[in-house]
Structure 1
């Protein structure tokens, strides 16, 4: 990665969807990883998600602010140990608003009162099928922060899980934001590339920290 001749540049993948490579520096990645490790501890820790049909997601997950389960939100881990969900820290909301400002501009961040985080852990065999983030009542942009191994992030359209879509390489430290006309675009992770995490980070696998605005009553 460090031997590349040219630095990777930001890209508009679709209207309202932007990829900012290397947005988190090394120290910020380490700090976020340390926080993720604390959040992953029980109670209300890292869990395997099961779909209503009985299948299991290969990426494991922990939530902050509100607990996501297929296909809704709760105050407790209703499909796990039943514990109250861990709180959403204010500094993470600040990070989300800064991310939106850098990716889409300050106007896009004005109403971005982030109050939910979904943190997915991918080992080398984990995948994420094409889906939309449609269980919130807000159209504020979704913020996606990557740590660890590189993945192929497939960003599609708002109508179908199939083509047209664009495959984007997300590395540790990268930022991806999607809002506006792309807020409900289908997206997924068809592949993780094991052993590609930044040297010295101390992470085997990939962590994806996704920040959302719930839009639910009683939230900021």
Structure 2
């Protein structure tokens, strides 16, 4: 067989192989397109069962009073506190009368406090003034239920709050950012409730004194809403 004939056969063989591979690839892509067009995205049915905005104890501090004025204080802020209870994070400002605390204003609300808890103003003065928790801020609690037949990843469930009279809309936040139940998946028929949480401008788009009256739930193509129960 001549050299030119061998060369022609090799070229022909390579051409057929490449063409065959391209044909297989094209058919596979067409079949994949058909699969994609026939595939239905899941439609989980997760509903908001309740949405409350009320005082929950323990909780963040709203107002305080002076129990004993202590010594060595001057008017100013940024005073940290300590308590024998479970509360943490309360920071206050004070005014003084003859170096004793005359009034206390809450700067940072903290968490985990009960009405009647006493705290020492330890970050200012001689750390011997004592205050009392008088009232707590309201906190949000949201309960949801899986009404459908799909398992849902809890981290895929998002909530947004709104206040209808002022047409104010909050910032979306994930349900699991306030849920400590330890479950990753939400199975059909299950009902989960958030831990009580105070509103926060950065996290929710409303301040702790805000009054949203509606909650929306969003997951994939499914939406739900509920009005607030005070």
Q: Greater RCO between the two (CA within 8 Å, min separation 6)?
A: 1
TM-score by length of 2: 0.23
Q: Which has the higher helix share?
A: 2
Bigger CA radius of gyration: 2
TM-score by length of 1: 0.23
